[in-house]
Structure 1
């Protein structure tokens, strides 16, 4: 299990990226929301969408299987 966070600030394309704890691209503390502990990024992205981040997407670097191409 790993801890996952969503960036509160959208990227220029409107996506809110989901990051795994320890990612080099993790947003600053004030700009992220804790999603919970998950076995993989798929559960974390779904949790972000349930919290209202409907365009949640996995980080290319730490959640690549959940990153939209």
Structure 2
């Protein structure tokens, strides 16, 4: 299990990236929304879509959910 967060700030392409604890690119606390504790990135990405329409997994810590 891992704690997942979504970045409040969008990337240049408009994506809000989902990260898990320990990622070198995890946003600062004021720039992230806690999504929950999950076995994989898939439910975290689904939950993040409740906050933002354009969501993607981080290339480095949630690669299975990275699409763009």
TM-score category (smaller protein): over 0.9
Q: Aligned residue for 2:52?
A: 53
Unaligned runs of 5+ in 2: none
Residue of structure 2 in register with 1:66 after alignment: 65
Structure 1: tracts of 5 or more residues without a match: none
Question: Given the two structures, how large is their TM-score scaled by the length of structure 2?
Answer: 0.95
- Normalised to the residue count of structure 1, the TM-score between the two structures is 0.94
- Output aligned runs, 1:22-33, within 5 Å: 22-33=22-33
Matches within 5 A, 1:11-50: 11-50=11-50
Distance in 2 of aligned mates of 1:39 and 1:61: 16
Alignment coverage as a number of residue pairs: 68
Measure, in 2, the Cα distance between the counterparts of 1:23 and 1:62: 6
Structure 1 runs of 4+ with >6 Å offset: none
2:4 counterpart residue number: 4
User: Which secondary structure does the structure 2 equivalent of 1:24 belong to?
Assistant: coil
